[in-house]
Amino acid sequence: MSDSCVQLHVDNQVGYIEFFHPAHNSLPTNLINELVDSIVAVGNNETIKVVVLKSGGNRTFCAGASFQELMNIDDEATGTQFFSGFANVINTMRKCPKFIVGRVQGKAVGGGVGLAAATDYCMATKYASIKLSELSLGFGPFVIEPVVTRKLGVSSMSQLAMDSNNFYSADWAKQNGLFTDVFYTTEALDEAVKIFAENLSNYNPEAMKQMKSVFWKGTEHWDQLLIERAATSGKLVLSEFTKETLKRFK
């Protein structure tokens, strides 16, 4: 693949949603919207029993939101809308009635960590190191904090958020609850994901739906919470500190 896209294919009752962007699988607003639409579609498709979320390429699972769009924010409304992108995709994932299995083949940064945390079961390769770089840019991982904290706990989330210049290994992520398994090769990861997802697809769909509801109990207020967090980031990104920091990256 050379152009950005979100694709869906179905195999043995498993819906594979794959997103791709040539800039390290970053997710600009239009691609996030396509991803949200695809998750809603598989949730409503009775022939699909389980969902796998994956990205194209080998080196990066997801570099987070579009840096170019971030650079162009010049008012609070635009900032809130920008940061609402990952709020929408996280909320869509948690409300999807199907289990979502994450397949993380490479590095995850910022919102990419949030995507991995929003899956119900996540497997990775040894190359899938993670980083939350937002605080070093002048704002913070406010939108994804609830979903990352839900998986890793407050202590590990705090460590990632504050140590924002460093990557943490896939093994660290596994030890702290983000990944369930870490494999040495992408081929081994793909085989494990296929076996696990197809096994799940034989279970009672209603039982899985009810079980997912149990897993996400206590998150019903996130529709409002994550948008409020997006507004916080939308203000901070306009600060003089952030603007000067972003200029250096440009």
Q: In what order do the strands lie in the sheet with 60-62?
A: 60-62, 107-109, 130-131
Closest CA to 122 of 47, 69, 173: 173
pLDDT in tens, 163-201: 999 999 999 999 999 999 999 999 999 999 999 999 999
pLDDT digits 0-9 by tens, 101-138: 999 999 999 999 999 999 999 999 999 999 999 999 98
User: Are 101 and 203 a contacting pair, CB within 8 Å?
Assistant: no
CA atoms within 13 A on the CB side of 168: 25
The hierarchical CATH code for the domain 5-200 is: 3.90.226.10
Q: Which helix (H) or strand (E) is 182 found in, with range?
A: strand 181-183
Domain ranges in the chain are 5-200
pLDDT single digits (tens) 34-53:
999 999 999 999 999 999 99
Give the total residue count for the chain.
250
Residues 138-161 have pLDDT tens digits of 899 999 999 999 999 999 999 999
Query: Can you tell me which residue has the tokens 């920091």?
Result: 245
The answer to whether 63 and 110 have CB atoms below 8 angstroms apart is yes
CB environment 72-87: b (16+ within 10 A), e (fewer): ebeeeeebbbbbbbbb
Is the distance from CB of 137 to CB of 245 less than 8 angstroms?
yes
Scan for tokens 């050379």, then name that residue: 2
Model pLDDT for residues 61-106, shown as the tens digit of each residue:
999 988 888 888 999 999 999 999 999 999 999 999 999 999 999 9
